[in-house]
């Protein structure tokens, strides 16, 4: 010290008076850790936001699937209910639940006109009797075609008869029901089908008798008597259920004309129309192929002898 040499006492130096490499390293490490923590925090926040977004999307997708499944179940339930409604045979049971005694009584009533206009006459709301009468009329037409000279196929014959009878029953019933609706008549479609179906009882009797007994005078008697009674029965029922003279005239006149003309058609023109249709579809009725014997010319004995001698010489 006295000689002027400067000796620094390192032990008396304050460690906190300056910065060292260790302090710088620690500060750098701490800053790096803080940056990593910030980066991790940002990533976590981003993940939370993505999770919330995906959660909303998942919730919306789940709600959409639930709504779609619910709509599918409702549509399936309605379709199955509609199918069971039309496929269930119990719906048609009230229209065919009838005793044979009642059917017989209604057949007899269909031939007896009742003059009662002040109150609506009762109409049976069942279809068993009319349906059986339509099939009976089909059988009578088949019988009439077989007893005639018409040669046709069974399938074509039956199909034509069924189409004619059911077409008249359903078509005329629908047309008269439409007229009744326009004329303000109190009748339903089922009652109209029942009324017209039982009205075919007179047609069945007339055609069955006249197909077996071929007299035109007898047919006209049955046409006016039996067919006229069944027609008057239907006219009386419609008159009792219609208000107004003009409406009654239009409705009852149309029904009477169609019903009586249909009977004339079945007796006179049905066979000819069927034959014409079959000739158009299958060609004219040709007679079956038969073998016909041919005449053999007479050969003289001289020719036969010469031929026999030639054959003998050859052998």
Specify if 258 maps to a domain. Answer: yes
Average pLDDT over residues 9-30: 50
Q: The whole model's pTM is what?
A: 0.60
Report which DSSP code applies to 145.
H
Considering the domain boundaries, does residue 227 fall inside one?
yes
Secondary structure letter of residue 295 according to DSSP: P
Residue 39 lies in a domain: no
Residue 272 in any domain: the answer is yes
Q: d(Cα 132, Cα 129) in Å, to the nearest integer?
A: 5
Place of tokens 């044979």: 100
State the pLDDT at residue 158.
80
The DSSP element (H or E) to which 107 belongs, if any, is helix 100-109
Decide if pLDDT at 153 tops 70: no
Count other C-beta atoms under 10 Å from residue 168's C-beta: 20
**CB-based contact 208:226 (threshold 8 Å):** no
In the chain, pLDDT over 90 holds for what percent of residues? 32
Instruction: Please give the C-alpha separations between residue 89 and each of 35, 95, 146, 220, in angstroms, as whole numbers.
Output: 81, 11, 36, 43
* 84 occurs within a structural domain: no
Q: Is residue 7 part of a domain?
A: no
Q: Is residue 44 part of a domain?
A: no
Q: How confident is the model at residue 40 (pLDDT cuts 50, 70, 90)?
A: low
Q: Which helix (H) or strand (E) holds 31?
A: helix 21-87
Share of the chain above pLDDT 70, in %: 60
Domain that holds residue 168: 100-109+118-283
- Residue 143, number of CB atoms within 10 A of its CB: 15
> Among 28-32, 260-264, 286-290, which stretch is predicted with the lowest mean pLDDT?
286-290
151, two tokens: 């040669």
Is 143 contained in some domain? yes
Domains of the chain: total: 1
């Amino acid at each position: 010290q006295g000689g002027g040499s400067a000796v620094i006492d390192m032990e008396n130096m304050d460690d906190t008076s300056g910065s060292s490499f260790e302090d710088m390293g620690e500060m750098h490490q701490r800053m790096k850790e803080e940056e990593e923590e910030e980066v991790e925090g940002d990533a976590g926040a981003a993940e939370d936001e993505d999770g919330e977004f995906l959660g909303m999307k998942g919730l919306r997708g789940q709600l959409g699937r639930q709504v779609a499944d619910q709509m599918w179940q409702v549509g399936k339930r309605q379709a199955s209910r509609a199918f069971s409604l039309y496929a269930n045979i119990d719906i048609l049971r009230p229209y065919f639940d009838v005793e044979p005694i009642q059917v017989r009584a209604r057949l007899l009533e269909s031939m007896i006109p009742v003059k009662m206009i002040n109150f609506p006459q009762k109409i049976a709301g069942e279809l068993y009797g009319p349906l059986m009468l339509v099939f009976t009329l089909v059988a009578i037409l088949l019988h009439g075609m077989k007893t005639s000279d018409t040669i046709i196929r069974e399938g074509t014959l039956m199909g034509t008869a069924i189409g004619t009878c059911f077409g008249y029953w359903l078509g005329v019933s629908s047309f008269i029901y439409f007229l009744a609706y326009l004329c303000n008549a109190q009748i339903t479609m089922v009652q109209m089908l029942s009324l017209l179906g039982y009205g075919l009882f007179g047609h069945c009797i007339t055609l069955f008798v006249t197909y077996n007994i071929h007299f035109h005078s007898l047919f006209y008697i049955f046409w006016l008597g039996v067919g006229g009674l069944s027609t008057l029965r239907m006219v009386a029922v419609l008159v009792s259920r219609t208000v107004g003279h003009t409406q009654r005239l239009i409705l009852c006149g149309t029904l009477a004309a169609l019903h009586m003309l249909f009977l004339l058609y079945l007796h006179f023109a049905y066979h000819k129309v069927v034959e014409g249709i079959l000739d158009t579809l299958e060609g004219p009725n040709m007679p079956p192929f038969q073998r016909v014997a041919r005449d053999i010319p007479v050969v003289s004995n001289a020719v036969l002898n010469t031929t026999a001698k030639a054959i003998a010489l050859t052998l």
